[in-house]
């Protein structure tokens, strides 16, 4: 009978947890009914601000698994000042991110020199069909609403210039 | 060091007896038992081919490679910033710890050093990933022996650590937070206080596991004296980390080498155990989690102010040369040998991962043990499949 104390101790833990769960509630979150809010920095989905994008292709080139597809054409825009020459701008035809391939590394957001890409902590965009995970530029633009403000930094951090 | 305990001697005699049995003329027909590649006790797709004589293993060999992802080759066609997003998938439970040696090797070649604040935060996140990794091991250990409760406790308390990592880096499992020359960003506000509270909780978790699991008589009788690895054998097979320390070798890369990290600014104890059995390996890891929480606490108290990024060109080209950096990862020694030809990406990277060497001892240690003990020995050796196959 030398193994009995361990068994009794184990049953004691079960009893203790049972009492605590009934009193304080469980540690788990019942997902579809209750939701956890991810932290502000969580990398959930990438949002696109289309006006800022100049189709420079930096994000598409630096993506480790090449899941960003960009197509653009040049077009003439009205001059900034009256009497000036018309400007040549890149107009974005297609900006797709394939979330079936994306590995959420965040390199594209980091390399973007014009602040066109942002992280949003939104995570509920699973699809029954894998092809639907290809988000086009209108869908990526809709994610912009969910992008939070950058959080304040810890004491001792250097201010961003 | 050469002194063997009585248990070690007995285990050695048993293995010699198993050897001898093969040579006896009246040999009974053995049986080959395949454990894996799909088996809940192998933590992934490791296959152990064991030749049995009755209940005893007379020959065993691990067959790795079912999940080979070719990271050494993949790094050759990626640029340096892209590589970190790949390599934190090697040991997926302690992913931040995978990035650090590679970044340190690249920094060594570029002859830059991260600012002190970045070194501090790096070390904290490194230790947090150790806690998350080994914390899960402590829970998983019970499951291998039929105790379900510890794994729930482990998952409950590991979640706090993962929340911390996610709060700072944005990724729960794949932080990709380390950059050449520093870190991607500074910590968010309130993170330090939160971390202190979580460390307190985790020390409670360690006490709980020590009382519940390590104090359990069944656990003790399943692990004590099982799978004894003497110190010289452990050294010969290239074991590292807690597996080596459990054999009585006082070896810790955090203390023994000077890296641009913050470990030399804290004092911590390197735990060793003279026995070298499964129990010792588990016990050393438990103490390590405790020690890690203390390291994190000390580092939080002495956090310097300043930038987290050194001056680094926007397009990173690493100068020609070769560098080897290894650190004490949750599983053992992990190192990267980076060869650069001055391009955007590395020319060749050799990854030395701890688990691959740690399981290479299985043919030696499994010889002569009984079938149920295979599982406890494998569990106590503690490997992550991604770390074996890369």
Q: B-chain residues within 8 Å CB-CB of A153?
A: 186-189
Chain position carrying tokens 């079936």: A100
Q: Taking residues A13-36, what's their average pLDDT?
A: 86
Select the more confidently predicted residue: B49 or A151. Answer: B49
- CB nearest to B212's CB, from A13, A38, A156: A13
> Taking residues B207-220, what's their average pLDDT?
83
Give the domain ranges of chain A. 45-146
What average pLDDT does range B203-228 have in this prediction?
Answer: 85
Contact partners, residue B338, CB within 8 Å, separation at least 6:
B102, B105, B106, B109, B318, B322, B323, B324, B346, B348, B349
Which residues in chain B are contacts of A155 at CB distance < 8 A?
Answer: 189, 192, 305
Tokens representing B318 are 């690493």
10 Å CB burial of residue B203 (0-12, 13-18, 19+) is middle
Strand partners, A71: A94
Q: Which of A123-137, B45-59, B69-83 has the lowest mean pLDDT?
A: B45-59
Query: What's the confidence (pLDDT) of residue B370?
Result: 87
Give me the mean pLDDT over the A14-38 stretch: 86
- pLDDT at position B22 over 80: no
Q: What's the pLDDT score for residue B3?
A: 63
For the stretch A55-84, pLDDT in tens is 888 888 888 888 899 888 888 888 888 878
Tell me what the mean pLDDT of segment B253-282 comes to: 87
CA of A6, closest CA in chain B: separation in Å? 5
Nearest to B279 by CA among B150, B181, B198, B377: B377
Q: Is the peptide bond before B387 cis (omega within 30 degrees of 0)?
A: no
More confident residue, A5 or A64: A64
CATH 3.30.70.3270 corresponds to the domain A45-146: yes
Is the pLDDT score of A116 beyond 80? yes
Residue A119 to residue B170, Cβ atoms within 8 A = yes
ipTM of the complex: 0.81
- In chain B, residues with a C-beta closer than 8 Å to the C-beta of A6 are 215-219
DSSP 8-state class, residue B214: I
User: Is pTM, for the whole model, over 0.80?
Assistant: yes
Give the 3-state secondary structure of residue A74: strand
Q: Name which of B88, B267, B105 is nearest B171 in CA terms.
A: B88
Q: Using pLDDT thresholds of 50, 70 and 90, give the confidence band for residue A1.
A: very low
CB under 8 Å to B370, separation ≥6 — which residues? Answer: B55, B56, B57
pLDDT tens for each residue of B301-330: 888 888 888 888 888 888 888 999 999 888
pLDDT band of B337, cuts 50, 70, 90: very high
Closest-CA distance of chain B to residue A83, Å:
38
Which of A79-88, B203-212, B213-222 has the highest mean predicted lDDT (pLDDT)? B203-212
Chain B residue with minimal CA distance to A6? B216
Task: Tell me the angle at which helices B95-110 and B116-144 cross, rounded to the nearest 10 degrees.
Answer: 150
pLDDT(B85) > 50 = yes
């Amino acid at each position: 009978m030398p193994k009995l104390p361990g068994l009794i101790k184990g049953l004691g833990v079960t009893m203790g947890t049972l009492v605590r769960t009934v009193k304080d509630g469980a540690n788990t979150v019942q997902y579809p009914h209750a939701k956890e809010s991810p932290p502000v920095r969580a990398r959930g989905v990438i949002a696109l601000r289309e006006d800022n994008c100049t189709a420079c292709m930096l994000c598409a080139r630096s993506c480790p698994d090449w899941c960003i597809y960009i197509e653009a054409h040049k077009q003439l825009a009205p001059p900034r000042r009256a009497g000036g020459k018309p400007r040549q701008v890149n107009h974005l035809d297609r900006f797709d991110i394939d979330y079936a391939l994306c590995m959420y590394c965040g390199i594209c957001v980091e390399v973007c020199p014009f602040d066109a890409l942002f992280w949003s902590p939104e995570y509920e965009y699973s699809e029954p069909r894998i092809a639907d995970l290809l988000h086009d530029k209108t869908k990526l633009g809709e994610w912009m609403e969910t992008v939070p403000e950058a959080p304040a930094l810890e004491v001792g951090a250097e201010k961003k210039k | 060091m050469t002194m063997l305990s009585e248990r070690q001697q007995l285990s050695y005699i048993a293995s010699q007896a198993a050897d001898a049995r093969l040579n006896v003329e009246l040999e009974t027909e053995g049986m080959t038992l395949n454990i894996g590649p799909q088996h809940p006790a192998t933590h992934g797709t490791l296959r152990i081919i064991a030749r049995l004589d009755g209940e005893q293993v007379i020959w065993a060999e691990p067959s790795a490679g079912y999940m080979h992802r070719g990271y050494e080759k993949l790094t050759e066609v990626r640029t340096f910033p892209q590589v970190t997003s790949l390599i934190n998938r090697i040991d997926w439970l302690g992913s931040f710890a995978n990035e650090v040696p590679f970044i340190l090797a690249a920094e060594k070649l570029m002859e830059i050093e991260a600012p002190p604040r970045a070194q501090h935060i790096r070390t904290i996140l490194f230790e947090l990933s150790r806690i998350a990794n080994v914390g899960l091991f402590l829970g998983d250990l019970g499951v291998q022996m039929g105790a379900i409760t510890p794994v729930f406790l482990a998952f409950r308390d590991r979640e706090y650590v993962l929340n911390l990592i996610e709060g700072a880096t944005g990724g729960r499992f794949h932080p990709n937070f380390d950059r050449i020359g520093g870190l991607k960003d500074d910590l968010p506000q309130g993170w330090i206080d939160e971390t202190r509270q979580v460390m307190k909780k985790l020390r409670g978790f360690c006490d709980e596991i020590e009382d519940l699991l390590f104090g359990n008589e069944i656990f003790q009788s399943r692990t004590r004296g099982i799978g004894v690895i003497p110190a010289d054998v452990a050294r010969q097979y290239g074991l590292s980390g807690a597996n080596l320390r459990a054999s009585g070798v006082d070896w810790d890369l955090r203390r023994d080498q000077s890296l641009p990290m913050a470990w030399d600014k804290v004092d911590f104890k390197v735990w060793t155990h003279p026995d070298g059995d499964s129990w010792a390996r588990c016990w050393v890891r438990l103490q390590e989690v405790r020690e890690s929480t203390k390291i994190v606490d000390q580092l939080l108290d002495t956090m310097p102010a300043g930038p987290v990024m050194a001056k680094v060109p926007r397009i990173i080209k690493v100068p020609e040369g070769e560098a080897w950096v290894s650190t004490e990862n949750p599983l053992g020694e992990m190192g990267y040998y980076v060869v650069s030809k001055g391009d955007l990406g590395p020319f060749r990277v050799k990854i030395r991962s701890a688990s691959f060497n740690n399981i290479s001892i299985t043919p030696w240690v499994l010889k002569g043990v009984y079938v149920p003990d295979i599982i406890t020995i494998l569990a106590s050796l503690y490997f992550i499949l991604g770390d074996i196959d890369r």
